[in-house]
Amino acid sequence: MISLHQLTKRFGSQTAVDSLSFEIPGGQIVGFLGPNGAGKSTTLKMLTGMIEPTDGTATICGLDLRRDTLEVKRKIGFVPESGAVFESLTGLEYLEMVAALYAIPSESARERIRQFIAFFDLSFETLTDKLLGAYSKGMRRKVVITAALLHNPPVVFFDEPLDGLDANAAVGFKTLIQTLAREGKTIVYSSHILDVVERVCDRVIIIDKGRMLVDGKPDELVASHQSGTLERLFTQLTGGSELERRAEDFAKTFRS
């Protein structure tokens, strides 16, 4: 489904993503992890056609990212970390606008929107009457997730999708992506909430400074590095193991 070969992105002299290569088959949920500035968002932006790679190739559903950019975009859904929406549209206007961009017939679009309203427990009046600017963060996130799935894409990229969702919505969302994966969709899930990643993902890729550090099943990686949990493995690999000592030093400054 997704194939990266030596994918690289440079901004001037700075290399944000450095020769990244991996393959993700259909039906897999892959946790894409890394510390801040590791190159996760840049990689996702390249894979979603938002920015052009400097070097390397990538294919999604067999389509070349550079050559068939528009076709690739029809095959993917993306929930960006920013959760940006056009705030002066109502939720329904926004979702209908997105549906029209994918040329989804209006009746089908309405039906899917109805299903999402039911799934996310969204108030119908809110969706039709209120501007998105007046939505709570969680409600806005639900609309963004709906917009990403509306055209039934075979590949979905989630960048911090749980940000703003309440506990119930988060549980429902995790079930949703597992169901989507069982139906053959490929899910790339980028998040800093590692226990969720550990529970939901079939596979984890950790990158730092634009380079891949590890790639494998969460339990196997944890076992092979004898780290006990994914969180410990992550801090071990990304230089976070000194954090505890640094936190203690920092706290000491308040004592004096």
Partner 1 sequence: MSNPPVQPPPLPPASPPPSPEQTLRRLFLTLFLRGRGARGLKKEKAPKSVGSKLATTLVLYALFGCLALTFLGQPLFALSAYLHAMTLMFVGMFVASSSGEVLFNKEEADILMHRPVTPRSLLWAKIGVLVQVSLWLACAFNLAGIIAGSLMRDGGVMFVVAHLFSTVLLALFCTGSVVLVYQLCLRWFGRERLDALMTTAQVVMAIGMVMAGQLVPQLMVRLRGQLAISPETWWVWALPPAWFAGFDIAFMGRSSGIAWALAATGVVATALVLWTAFGRLANDYGAGLQRLNEMSGPPERPRAKRRWLDRLSQMPPLSWWLKDSVSRATFVLVAAYLVRDRDVKLRVYPGLAPMLIMPLIFLVRGTKGDAGSFGAAFSGTYIGLVPLLGISLLQYSQQWQAADVFRTAPLPGPAPLNRGLRRAVLLLLTVPVMLLYATLTWVASGSFSHLALLLPGVIAMPLCLIGPCLNGTAIPFSQPADEAKSAGRGLHMILFLVAAAALTGISIWAWSGGWFVPFLVGETVAVAALYLVFRAAAGRAKWSPMD
- Strands, sheet with 55-60, edge to edge from the N-terminal-most edge strand: 14-24, 2-11, 55-60, 63-64
Q: Cβ of residue 127: shortest distance to partner 1, in angstroms? A: 9
Q: Which of residues 210-239 bind partner 1 (CB under 8 A)?
A: none
Nearer to partner 1 among residue 128 and residue 224 (C-beta): 128
- Residue 169 binds to partner 1 (criterion: CB under 8 A): yes
Q: Cβ of residue 142: shortest distance to partner 1, in angstroms? A: 10
Q: Cβ of residue 58: shortest distance to partner 1, in angstroms? A: 14
Q: Cβ of residue 17: shortest distance to partner 1, in angstroms? A: 12
Q: Which of residues 23-82 bind partner 1 (CB under 8 A)?
A: 45, 48-52, 70-71, 73-74, 76, 78, 80, 82
Going from the C-alpha of 115 to that of each of 88, 110, 120, 171, 199, the distances in angstroms are 24, 9, 9, 18, 26
Query: Tokens for 237?
Result: 């690999």
Q: Cβ of residue 82: shortest distance to partner 1, in angstroms? A: 5
Q: What is the chain's length?
A: 256
Beta bridge partners, 2, equal 24, 60
Closest by Cα among 8, 6, 35 to 242: 35
Q: Cβ of residue 139: shortest distance to partner 1, in angstroms? A: 12
Cβ neighbours around 33 below 10 Å, total: 26
Helices (H), the chain: 40-47, 69-75, 91-101, 106-119, 124-129, 137-149, 167-182, 194-200, 218-224, 230-237, 243-255
* Interacting residue with partner 1 among 1, 38, 99, 181 (CB under 8 A): 99
Q: Which of residues 124-163 bind partner 1 (CB under 8 A)?
A: 124, 128, 130-134
Beta bridge partners, 156, equal 77, 187
Residues near partner 1, by CB under 8 A: 11, 45, 48-52, 70-71, 73-74, 76, 78, 80, 82, 84-90, 92-93, 96-107, 109-110, 113-114, 117-121, 124, 128, 130-134, 168-169, 171-172
